[in-house]
């Protein structure tokens, strides 16, 4: 499950503290801040646009280009 949360600083601190306690118990948790979220979203949207414009490559084509 993915959750995007907007909260005050005091609420955010409480939530992060709770998540940290879960992590210490062995639960798998990944925290992504707004900057990373926006960066990843832009990358995904750019990739989708490139696919729509036929600007995609097979993995073999990419590996050949990287070997040059």
Measured CA distances, 6 to 28, 32, 44 (Å): 21, 12, 22
Please tell me whether residues 37 and 64 are part of one structural domain. Answer: yes
**pTM beyond 0.75:** no
Query: What domain range includes position 47?
Result: 33-68
Please tell me whether residues 1 and 21 are part of one structural domain. Answer: yes
Q: Convert the pLDDT of each residue in 6-39 to its tens digit.
A: 899 999 899 989 999 999 999 998 888 778 888 9
Distance (Å, rounded) from C-alpha 40 to C-alpha 38? 6
Q: Convert the pLDDT of each residue in 56-67 to its tens digit.
A: 888 999 899 899
Tokens of 36: 């990373």
Please tell me whether residues 39 and 15 are part of one structural domain. Answer: no
């Amino acid at each position: 499950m993915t959750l995007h949360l907007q909260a005050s600083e005091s609420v955010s601190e409480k939530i992060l503290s709770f998540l940290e306690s879960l992590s210490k118990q062995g639960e798998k948790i990944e925290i992504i801040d707004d900057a990373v979220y926006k960066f990843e979203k832009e990358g995904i949207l750019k990739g989708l646009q490139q696919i729509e414009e036929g600007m995609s490559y097979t993995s073999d084509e990419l590996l050949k280009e990287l070997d040059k």
